[in-house]
C-alpha cells in the first residue's frame, strides 16, 4: 500500500468521526429544543442539515420512516465509529488521537446529558390570558 493511500485512509477516518460527532451533537441539541444566545435556532438547524445533506437530498425520494431510521442509525453508529477509532490503526496510542477522542466523547456526553436533563423538567405552565374587558 502506498503512503498516500494510507494517509488518505487515516485522514478520512478522523474527519468522518468528527463529522459524525458533530451530527450527533447537533441532532441531540436541536431535537431537544436547544437555544443558543450566540446562534439563532435556524443557524443550528442549518448547520445540522448541511452535515446530513445526503439524506436531506434523498428526503424527497424516500419515505419519512426510512429517512428517520437513517437518522436513528447515526446515533447507533457513533459509538461503533468511536470505538473503531480507538481500537484500530497506527495512531491509537498518540496523544493527538486520544485528545480528539476525549473531545468527541465529551461533546456527545454533554449533549446527551443536557437532553436527558430536559426530559425531567416539568412542562412550562401555559401563560394566563389577560382578562377581556367588555365592549360597552
Q: pLDDT per residue over 59-89, tens digit each?
A: 778 888 887 787 788 788 888 888 888 887 7
Residue partners of 86: CB distance under 8 A and separation at least 6: 92, 97, 101
Q: Residue 129 domain-assigned? A: no
Within-domain flag for 126: no
C-alpha span between 32 and 44 (Å, rounded): 12
Q: How far is Cα 65 from Cα 13, in angstroms, rounded to an integer?
A: 29
Q: How buried is residue 17: exposed, middle or buried, by Cβ count under 10 Å (0-12/13-18/19+)?
A: buried
Query: pTM value?
Result: 0.63
SS3 104: helix
Total number of domains constituting the chain: 1
In a domain, 83, yes or no: yes
- Highest mean pLDDT range out of 5-9, 32-36, 61-65? 61-65
Range in 53-67, 106-120, 122-136 the model is least confident about = 122-136
Which structural domain range is residue 90 located in? 14-118
Amino acid at each position: 500500500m502506498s503512503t498516500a493511500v494510507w494517509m488518505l485512509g487515516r485522514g478520512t477516518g478522523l474527519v468522518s468521526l468528527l463529522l459524525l460527532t458533530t451530527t450527533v451533537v447537533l441532532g441531540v441539541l436541536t431535537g431537544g429544543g436547544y437555544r443558543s444566545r450566540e446562534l439563532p435556532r435556524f443557524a443550528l438547524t442549518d448547520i445540522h442539515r448541511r452535515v446530513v445533506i445526503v439524506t436531506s437530498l434523498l428526503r424527497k425520494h424516500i419515505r419519512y420512516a426510512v429517512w428517520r431510521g437513517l437518522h436513528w442509525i447515526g446515533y447507533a453508529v457513533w459509538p461503533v465509529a468511536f470505538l473503531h477509532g480507538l481500537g484500530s490503526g497506527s495512531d491509537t496510542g498518540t496523544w493527538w488521537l486520544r485528545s480528539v477522542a476525549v473531545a468527541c466523547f465529551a461533546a456527545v456526553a454533554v449533549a446527551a446529558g443536557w437532553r436527558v436533563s430536559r426530559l425531567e423538567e416539568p412542562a412550562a405552565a401555559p401563560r394566563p390570558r389577560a382578562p377581556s374587558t367588555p365592549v360597552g
